[in-house]
Amino acid sequence: MAVVPKFVGARIKRREDPRLISGTATYVDDVRLPGTLSAVVLRSPHPHARINSIDAAAARSAPGVVAVLTGEELKGKVGGIPCVAPAEHIPFHPLLAQGKVRFVGESVAVVVATDAYKAQDAADLIEVDYDPLNAVSDPEQALADDAPILHEEFGNNLVTRALIPNPAVDEAMAKADRVVKFRIKNQRLAPVPMEPRGVLAQWHQANGQLTVWTSTQIPHLLRSALAAVLSLPENRVRVIAPEVGGGFGAKLNFYREEALIAHLSRMLGQPVKWIERRRENLATTTHGRDQITYLEVPVKNDGTVLAIKAKFICDMGAYLQLLTPAIPGFSGLMMTGCYKIPAMSFEQVMVFTNKMATDAYRGAGRPEAAYIAERTMDMVAAELGLDPVAVRRRNFIPKEAFPYVTCAGLVYDSGDYDAALTKALEIVDYPKARAEQAEALKHGRYIGIGVASYVEICGIGPSVMLPPKVPGWESATVRMEPDSRVTVLTGISPHGQGQETTFAQMAADAFGVDIDDVTVVHGDTAIVQYGVGTFGSRGLSVGGTALMMSVGKLQDKLKKIASTMMEAPPDQLTFTNRTVALQSDTTKAIPLQAVVDAAYGWKMPIPGMEPGLDATSVFEPSGCTFPFGTHVAVVEVDPETGVVKFLRYVAVDDCGNIISPLLVAGQVHGGIAQGIAQALYEEVVYDENGQLVTATLMDYAAPRAQMLPHYELAHTVTPSPLNPMGVKGVGEAGTIGSTPCMVNAVMDALKPLGVRHIDMPLRPEKLWRAFKDAKKA
Amino acid sequence: MRVNLTINGHPRGDEIEPRLLLVHYLRDVAGLTGTHVGCETTLCGACTVLLDGKAVKSCTVLAAQADGASVTTVEGLAKDGGLHPIQEGFWEEHGLQCGYCTPGMMMAAVDLLSRTTNPSEDEIRHALEGNLCRCTGYQHIIKAVQYAAEKMRAAAGR
């Protein structure tokens, strides 16, 4: 018999790929049901307006139209969209606008027709009489006395205020040699998954059952929310996340259209499909970031940071989505980064504006935190005339200090920040790069070197850290089938991450079988036990631990059965090469199939033991994992054009042990790309009247191949003590490290001009102006 | 109106509305859902197919414009049960994650490789500038195209 190799840690081609490269994968829009109707949503062109009347008569009688619905007609029939995070003011969030529209793109009516072309034709015939109102798009103006109020019932535009005071911060201010003060902005971004959102709903009238296919990261949580909004029993609702074309946090949500399309199917007794168009995606799928931060940082002249004090203005948009007001908390709690800063305090003011809601976007609060920490280190270095690397080293949490309790009360599981920094600097040859930079400047060339040492919080985590309806645990079922093949049912819902591969690697090794003997199933609430979903880099550290718990239960059962067949104690047995063997001598073995036969057979070898091989586990993490690393960028800024040219991009990431090196590289690459995009290119722009300016991919600068560098990756490995694999999570790391790294690099290039900070995105025009202004001065 | 065309080597004809886009014709009439719609405005490239051998964005081509033409979609890449080298390259080099941009990305790459057999990294980045990927950061896509180029050169004995 051929030897079965080990799969964990090996370069394994993805098992998801054959269907994806052949064009046979099934995304929502590829699901075909007979008699499916198409829906098109009519949306507000106004940022803020009163709806006087809606005349849909012409649309209702247009060819192919089956139904038209407005907000008034939905009243009392369905609930609203929930926000599960606590906030002082949570407005009712209707499926279609009622009385007022509050952002450009807000859904006003829906047309259902025999095909999407006809539905669009009819939607164009609907006449809405609007009274435009003044709008507010600047979050700092939203709380002014004369600001237009979005939700009149609250009397102002405050969502909520969070205050974490600390008298030690004021003491640090008094003791400091200086206090570095600055304001930075994490601009609003659009997640732009390549597959827009989409929903197909099928109501089964005969048994009162609803099936919904939707492009989501959280099928089970969505099932609960849908059932509540539609007043259906949860066991009559089936949610299927088929192939999902990217999410990045934008599909960690519950959207109006998901409930609306389900309601329409129930109302019409036919399947109804709605596919989001890109313009809708940019206007009505959640945005990310949008935080302004005022910082005060007391320091010693040697670069020691004594405290960080921050005031955040957080733009929540017009309504609150699932987790909207929960995101900024992570920015505050993580803003001390990799550093042993003894005290911190912050105030967060979250406000309504006439824009789409913000919510999770890759990193969800932690990129903002890393940006604060890493811009702080560079601002302190610039203020004191020190090397940014030296300032980091002076303030790093030493590796002996782990587990380390931060001044925010977080427990960092493990880390060696200096090791990652040292490795990154070695790869880039830091002293040589600095020498080349100085030499280049003599010739009028502006080279910049940017360093960012990040730490982020993953595998969240203990459920108490999250709102009750989005818990931190995860589930897995492992079944060994009668032919000894393994089926894994996971509660996570991967959409590009590749756990059909990594989980198969883990299960295959655990049972000594081939990776082809394992099938991983996810994303269907009728098949998979209740789970939570894929977000926050939790798939492997939380979902993978649940998997290994179930694997362990089956291993125990198989060993107990085998022990009666081999006359050896269970704890001396192991799984290898499709056998159960003695650990001390694996030639003394019986076929795994023989043990499986016994488990499924008519007579269990152990009296009283349940037949079958099936185990389910739920893992509730005791703490969070804290991946970290250092990114270094070398760039050159052209003073004539302001264009940033990439010379080097080195990323040293520590995500603990690595199960699948190829997939880790993919995650890091994609993360870096999105982080650099924030630093240099992307911004969702609303003008001062609340009109959306970046409504197409012509105007929203998601980067193309030529706009990104070649990445050089390396790793340090500091296992997490919190899970049996020692993994930390890597889905967001690249995004978190790369944004401050790239901004630090560009600002370093502009240092000879005396420029300390320019807000992102650092587009050529801004940099060109900086050179021009410097020349004038 | 009527269109007659060849899709992946198979001739077919259909009565269609004149305004029907090629991508919707392929997906909804011909039932080939491997070609995706990402933006409807020629900006993302998810819908890229070959029209008489040249890459086009099928979201801004009318089905009527393809009358008499030969269309190749992702479903037509594999031949005789074997993957096309570009498919092998994407699989081997982890050139995809969510997979949504992949069919269009591969078709654009096939177009490039029909014009040049040994493209540099810069040439590949340039050739794929009409195709957005949000997952990979492009580096593995570039390696995938290089893998395919090498494979195709070897097969051609160059």
CATH number where A583 lies: 3.30.365.10
Q: Name, in order, each residue with C-beta under 8 angstroms of B55's C-beta and a sequence gap of 6 or more.
A: B48, B49, B107, B108, B110, B111
Q: Do B87 and A22 touch (CB under 8 A)?
A: yes
Residue of A21, A495, A734 with shortest CB distance to B98: A495
Domain shared by A662 and A559, yes or no: no
ipTM (interface predicted TM) = 0.98
Distance from CA of A665 to the nearest CA of B (A): 9
The architecture of the domain spanning B85-155 is: Orthogonal Bundle (1.10)
Domain shared by A398 and A485, yes or no: no
Q: pLDDT in tens for each of the 158 residues of chain B?
A: 999 999 999 999 999 999 999 999 999 999 999 999 999 899 999 999 999 999 999 999 999 999 999 999 999 999 988 999 999 999 999 999 999 999 999 999 999 999 999 999 999 999 999 999 999 999 999 999 999 999 999 999 86
Q: Name, in order, each residue with C-beta under 8 angstroms of A732's C-beta and a sequence gap of 6 or more.
A: A362, A363, A364, A366, A367, A456, A458, A536, A537, A671
Q: Tokens 């209702």 map to which residue?
A: A60
Q: Do A17 and B101 touch (CB under 8 A)?
A: no
Q: Report how many domains make up chain A.
A: 3
A12-28: per-residue pLDDT in tens?
999 999 999 999 999 99
The band of A460, judged by pLDDT with boundaries at 50, 70 and 90, is confident
Q: Give the span between the Cα atoms of A693 and A685, in whole angstroms.
A: 5
**Helices H / strands E in chain B, number of each:** 5, 5
Q: Name, in order, each residue with C-beta under 8 angstroms of B144's C-beta and a sequence gap of 6 or more.
A: B86, B89, B90, B92, B93, B95, B109
A67-79: per-residue pLDDT in tens?
999 999 999 999 9
Q: Name, in order, each residue with C-beta under 8 angstroms of A146's C-beta and a sequence gap of 6 or more.
A: none
State the pLDDT at residue A394.
98
State the pLDDT at residue A182.
98
The band of A2, judged by pLDDT with boundaries at 50, 70 and 90, is low
Q: Give the span between the Cα atoms of A763 and A644, in whole angstroms.
A: 8
DSSP secondary-structure letter at A609?
A: P
Domain shared by A553 and A628, yes or no: no
Domain shared by A316 and A443, yes or no: yes
State mean pLDDT over A260-270. Answer: 98
* CB contact at 8 A, A199 and A212: yes
CB interface of A with B, residues 186-225, below 8 Å: 192-196
Whether residue A34 is preceded by a cis peptide bond, meaning omega within 30 degrees of 0, is no
Domain shared by A628 and A707, yes or no: yes
* CB contact at 8 A, A475 and A546: yes
Q: Name, in order, each residue with C-beta under 8 angstroms of A78's C-beta and a sequence gap of 6 or more.
A: A95, A229, A230, A231, A259, A260, A263
Which residues are registered as beta bridge partners of A352?
A: A317
Residue A160 included in any domain = no
DSSP secondary-structure letter at A252?
A: S
Distance from CA of B84 to the nearest CA of A (A): 10
How many angstroms from the chain centroid is the CA of residue A468?
A: 19
CB interface of A with B, residues 84-123, below 8 Å: 117
A124 at B interface, C-beta within 8 A: no
Q: List chain A residues with CB under 8 Å of B7.
A: none
Which residue on chain B is closest to A17 by alpha carbon? B91
State the pLDDT at residue A37.
98
Beta-carbon count within 10 A of A36 CB = 17
A307-331: per-residue pLDDT in tens?
999 999 999 999 999 999 999 999 9
Q: Among A587, A619, A651, which residue terminates a domain?
A: A619
State mean pLDDT over A107-120. Answer: 98
DSSP secondary-structure letter at B132?
A: -
Q: Name, in order, each residue with C-beta under 8 angstroms of A458's C-beta and a sequence gap of 6 or more.
A: A536, A537, A538, A541, A624, A625, A626, A627, A728, A729, A731, A732
The band of A602, judged by pLDDT with boundaries at 50, 70 and 90, is confident
Average pLDDT across chain A, whole number: 97
Residue A756 included in any domain = yes
The pair phi, psi for residue A158, each rounded to 5°, is -80, 130
State the pLDDT at residue A1.
53
Residue A416 included in any domain = yes
Domain shared by A364 and A451, yes or no: yes
Whether residue A403 is preceded by a cis peptide bond, meaning omega within 30 degrees of 0, is yes
Distance from CA of A247 to the nearest CA of B (A): 9
Q: Name, in order, each residue with C-beta under 8 angstroms of A292's C-beta and a sequence gap of 6 or more.
A: A139, A140, A183, A184, A185, A186, A312, A313
How many angstroms from the chain centroid is the CA of residue A76?
A: 34
The pairing of strands A178-189 and A100-101 is: unpaired
Q: Name, in order, each residue with C-beta under 8 angstroms of A46's C-beta and a sequence gap of 6 or more.
A: A101, A104, A130, A132, A135
Q: Tokens 């926050």 map to which residue?
A: A536
**3-class secondary-structure state, position B48:** strand
Residue of B27, B87, B137 with shortest CB distance to A670: B137
Helix or strand run (H / E) with residue A394:
helix A388-395
The pair phi, psi for residue A480, each rounded to 5°, is -95, 120
Domain shared by A452 and A314, yes or no: yes
Q: Give the span between the Cα atoms of A55 and B54, in whole angstroms.
A: 46
Which residues are registered as beta bridge partners of B13?
A: B4
Question: Six-digit token pair at A111?
Answer: 């047309």
Q: Give the span between the Cα atoms of A614 and A477, in whole angstroms.
A: 7
Q: Give the span between the Cα atoms of A736 and A655, in whole angstroms.
A: 13
* CB contact at 8 A, A278 and A194: no
A14 at B interface, C-beta within 8 A: yes
Domain shared by A635 and A611, yes or no: no
Q: List chain A residues with CB under 8 Å of B57.
A: none
Question: Six-digit token pair at A496?
Answer: 């590009």
Helix or strand run (H / E) with residue A178:
strand A178-189
Question: Residue A603 pLDDT more than 80?
Answer: no
A86-102: per-residue pLDDT in tens?
999 999 999 999 999 99
Q: Give the span between the Cα atoms of B38 and B35, in whole angstroms.
A: 10
Q: List chain A residues with CB under 8 Å of B31.
A: 32
Q: Tokens 């080195």 map to which residue?
A: A650
Which residues are registered as beta bridge partners of A480?
A: A486
Q: Do B136 and A24 touch (CB under 8 A)?
A: no
Share of chain A above pLDDT 70, in %: 100
Residue A718 included in any domain = yes
Residue A138 included in any domain = no
The band of A468, judged by pLDDT with boundaries at 50, 70 and 90, is confident
Q: Among A240, A275, A310, which residue terminates a domain?
A: A275
Q: Give the span between the Cα atoms of A129 and A151, in whole angstroms.
A: 20
Domain shared by A424 and A524, yes or no: no
A245 at B interface, C-beta within 8 A: yes
**A736, A735, A737, A718: which is closest to A727 by C-alpha?**
A718
Residue of B20, B40, B75 with shortest CB distance to A277: B40
The band of A4, judged by pLDDT with boundaries at 50, 70 and 90, is confident
The band of A777, judged by pLDDT with boundaries at 50, 70 and 90, is confident
**A293, A294, A285: which is closest to A358 by C-alpha?**
A285
Residue A166 included in any domain = no
A609-640: per-residue pLDDT in tens?
999 999 999 999 999 999 999 999 999 999 99
Q: Give the dihedral sign, CA A631/A632/A638/A639.
A: positive
Domain shared by A300 and A372, yes or no: yes
Q: Give the span between the Cα atoms of A612 and A614, in whole angstroms.
A: 6
Q: Give the span between the Cα atoms of A215 and A246, in whole angstroms.
A: 9
* CB contact at 8 A, A245 and B100: yes
The pairing of strands A209-214 and A237-240 is: parallel
State the pLDDT at residue B158.
67
B74 at A interface, C-beta within 8 A: yes
The pair phi, psi for residue A452, each rounded to 5°, is -140, 120
Domain shared by A76 and A216, yes or no: yes
Q: Give the span between the Cα atoms of A653 and A734, in whole angstroms.
A: 8
DSSP secondary-structure letter at A572?
A: G
State the pLDDT at residue B58.
98
Question: Minimum mean pLDDT among A93-107, A145-159, A599-613: which range?
Answer: A599-613
Strand locations in B1-158, DSSP E? 2-7, 10-15, 48-51, 54-57, 70-72
The band of A33, judged by pLDDT with boundaries at 50, 70 and 90, is very high
Distance from CA of B126 to the nearest CA of A (A): 6
Report the amino acid identity of residue A753. L
The pair phi, psi for residue A277, each rounded to 5°, is -90, 160
Domain with A589, as residue range(s), is 473-619
DSSP assignment of A31-59: ---TT-EEEEEEE-SSSSEEEEEEE-HHH
Half-sphere exposure of A534 (CA within 13 A, CB side): 27
Q: Among A587, A602, A619, which residue terminates a domain?
A: A619
**Helices H / strands E in chain A, number of each:** 19, 28
Please give the angle made by the CA atoms of B71, B74 and B76, to the nearest 5 degrees.
60
Half-sphere exposure of A741 (CA within 13 A, CB side): 32
Distance from CA of B20 to the nearest CA of A (A): 9
State mean pLDDT over A43-57. Answer: 98
Q: Give the span between the Cα atoms of A176 and A301, in whole angstroms.
A: 8
**3-class secondary-structure state, position A109:** strand
Residue of B44, B103, B128 with shortest CB distance to A697: B44
Q: Give the span between the Cα atoms of A734 and A716, in whole angstroms.
A: 15
Residue A455 included in any domain = yes
Report the amino acid identity of residue A147. A
Largest interatomic CA distance in chain A: 91
Domain B2-76 has CATH 3.10.20.30: yes
Residue A575 included in any domain = yes
Domain shared by A325 and A434, yes or no: yes
What residue spans define the domains of chain B? 2-76, 85-155
